[in-house]
Structure 1
Amino acid sequence: MGLAALAGGAIYAARNPRIPEGVHPVEGFDLDRYLGKWYELARIEHSFEKGLQRTQAEYSRRPDGSVQVINRGFDARRGEWKVAHGKARPTIAPNVAALKVTFFGPLYGGYNVVALGESYQWAMVIGSSLEHCWILSRTPTLPDGVEGRLVRQAERLGVDTQKLVWVHQDGVNPTGSYS
């Protein structure tokens, strides 16, 4: 019985990622307003995004009601775009900004929107741990004062903001056309 409970707990954790202590996803969230293109302006670096610039995410509805996720970033060393396809689903309720995201089958990571501009123009996301933090915007730059506000909020949550990498986002892709 102990092994079965442990295995069941591991499966539950893989399918329903935890929300870090002290992190509170935005309530009154409208997923349909959140859909669309986002520029990643800052992140804590991880192997799946290491060295990428001009990173972006695009969210759209899938026929089954889940969210299609397309992440892309430019790898300057290789001179090519890296693209990852995934899917996301709300975990608590449709109006709470706590989602689970997968790029690798049944293994899910947390995606908790903890700060959101009133007009859905910028957001800050914390993953399943405080080692996963992203600052996003609908445009390649943030409005005046928002960067400092988000960094201070991340610090209050316990994020090591010294680890934040600010992403090059000039709005022009390496081929010269506008993205």
Structure 2
Amino acid sequence: MTTNIPKAGFKLAKIAVGAAVLIGLGAATMAYAQTKPLQTVEKVELDRYLGMWYEVARKPLVFQKSCDRDVTAVYTLNENGNINVNNSCFAKDGTKKQSIGEAFVQNAPFNTKLKVSFLPESIRWLPIGRGDYWVLKADEDYQTVLVGEPRRKYMWVLSRSAHPVQAVVQDYLNYAKSVGYDLSDVIHTKQTAK
């Protein structure tokens, strides 16, 4: 006895199998990207990196959960050669939030891997409570940058402009995805600056 499968049903079955294969390949590619060591840019010229950056996208972070809009980071050089970090944002109720920290270069003269501490200044010299800050992608004019860390839990896209070209932001997000970041929960930061 033979069964006749309608052509439309056979075609749908082929499409379903094809979709399952593509989803499986995508998951395998993501798993591989997440186990491959995370690469940074070749070198960061700190004097060009310093200054004001606007956050345009990020992964959700516990310490930024109260940030609703206008998230910025200002980097300046300290007298001791480390980098002063001044992060600020506004909560939904309009309250300004600010965190002052210090970044320590881990791989001079390449300057692509830093550790950042927001501990009180008197104990920041202790090598504890420091988070990784790796520069993963940057344009040669230092106008847009992708920052992350090796476990791929945290990620930021920063720009010199509060309203960068969205195609550029998407390019940086696509790159983040290609190196193993899960972007299903990415937050696009609201910036009200003109």
Output the TM-score relative to the length of structure 1: 0.80
Alpha-carbon offset, residue 149 of structure 1: 1.2
| C-alpha contact (below 8 Å) 1:70/1:84 kept by paired residues | yes
Q: Which residue of 2 aligns with 1:9?
A: none
**Gaps (5+ residues) in structure 2?**
1-34
Q: Which residue of 1 aligns with 2:56?
A: 41
Give the secondary structure class of the aligned counterpart of 1:163. coil
2:116 and 2:82 map into 1 onto residues whose CA distance is 10
Alpha-carbon offset, residue 46 of structure 1: 1.2
For residues 49-64 of structure 1, the aligned pairs below 5 Å read 49-52=64-67, 53-64=69-80
Q: Which residue of 2 aligns with 1:24?
A: 39
**Larger strand share, 1 or 2:** 1
| C-alpha contact (below 8 Å) 1:31/1:95 kept by paired residues | no
Q: Which residue of 2 aligns with 1:69?
A: 85
For residues 1-179 of structure 1, the aligned pairs below 5 Å read 21-52=36-67, 53-77=69-93, 79-104=94-119, 105=124, 106-143=128-165, 145-171=167-193
| C-alpha contact (below 8 Å) 1:99/1:112 kept by paired residues | yes
Alpha-carbon offset, residue 101 of structure 1: 0.5
1:143 and 1:150 map into 2 onto residues whose CA distance is 11
1:43 and 1:22 map into 2 onto residues whose CA distance is 21
Q: CA RMSD in A?
A: 1.6
Query: How many residues in Structure 1 have an aligned counterpart in Structure 2?
Result: 152
Give the secondary structure class of the aligned counterpart of 1:145. helix
Give the secondary structure class of the aligned counterpart of 2:63. coil
1:125 and 1:144 map into 2 onto residues whose CA distance is 18
| C-alpha contact (below 8 Å) 1:44/1:133 kept by paired residues | yes
Give the secondary structure class of the aligned counterpart of 1:22. coil
**Larger helix share, 1 or 2:** 2
Identity among equivalent positions (%) equals 31
